[in-house]
Amino acid sequence: MNTPDCETLLLADRVIREDNGKMSIIGIFRSINLPSFPAVIPPWNVYAHLNNLPDDDQISITITIYNTETTLVLFSQTIDIKKEQRKRENVDINLQIANVSFVKPGRHAVSINVNGETLRLLYFNVQQIGSSAK
């Protein structure tokens, strides 16, 4: 049995999949600066490269974004991928995140789960900036 792994997990302004399958990742970030709360930022992306996926007939991949201090879930989406949709034991996930409201500053996380098992956590900070900050 394969042990699934999340080789790459990134937050980016934009991810483009070219016709030849190559991915272009633009504007990788690990912090979000906002003038006030609650706040909604323009759409952004979570990109993940998963490998050693199980040979199950269907796998469920869940991406969750939450505040690590309050455990408030800001976003969660599950993607079910059938075996016939996968060409190999690996898969690229490019999920656009829109209309997520950050309620307060603090440490946040993106978790990626396959069939209920957490493969990776990516921490990022959401900070309040003053009107004079650049």
Domain 5-128 grouped into CATH 3.40.50.150: no
Tens digit of pLDDT for each residue in 69-107? 999 999 999 999 888 777 677 889 999 999 999 999 999
Contact 45/94 with Cβ under 8 angstroms?
yes
Sign of CA dihedral 66, 67, 72, 75: negative
Q: What pLDDT score was predicted for residue 49?
A: 94
Task: List the domain boundaries for the chain.
Answer: 5-128
Q: Which residues fall within 8 angstroms of residue 16, CB to CB, at 6 or more apart? A: 23, 24, 26
Q: What torsion, rounded to 10 degrees, do the Cα atoms 95, 33, 118, 17 define?
A: 20
